[in-house]
Amino acid sequence: MIWYDGRLFRPISSKGSSQTSDETIFQYSQKADRLTGKYSGGIIELGHLIGLCDENGNINMRYHHLTHEGYLMTGKCRTRPEILENGKIRLHERWQWTCGDFSKGTSILEEI
């Protein structure tokens, strides 16, 4: 299993109506197969995520965040990890809003 505890990630690309940017930083914590995290930066004031990891490091998660303008957003995401040559992790995400327009998108995050 890939161990995410204490790792930091930053988006490097996104397609769809994502609210993250290269200013958004995700910090993960993990206990067994339980993953939690917090994130902020760019238009996001504060966000949290919770998920389950499988034996290959894939993550099934739910997330919510509050923007600086006072909008509360919620969504779900499935994440597939890739181990880079330098040993860091790249995350390939497929997500969907569970509020607003319910649109879908993809994002790539890399460990920093």
The reply to whether 3 falls in a domain is: no
* pTM reported for the whole predicted model: 0.95
The reply to whether 1 falls in a domain is: no
The reply to whether 85 falls in a domain is: yes
User: Tens of pLDDT along 82-111?
Assistant: 999 999 999 999 999 999 999 999 999 999
Tokens of 111: 């460990």
- The fraction of the chain above a pLDDT of 70, given in percent, is 100
- Domain with residue 74: its CATH number is 2.40.128.30
The reply to whether 2 falls in a domain is: no
User: Tens of pLDDT along 32-44?
Assistant: 999 999 999 999 9
Amino acid at 17: S
Counted domains in the chain = 1
Q: Are 3 and 26 in contact (CB under 8 A)?
A: no
Q: Return the closest-CA partner of residue 110 out of 92, 96, 85.
A: 92
Name the average pLDDT for the chain. 97
User: Distance between CA 95 and CA 32 in Å, rounded?
Assistant: 23
The reply to whether 99 falls in a domain is: yes
The band of 21, judged by pLDDT with boundaries at 50, 70 and 90, is very high
Residue-range definition of the domain harbouring residue 18? 8-111
CA 97 to chain centre: 13
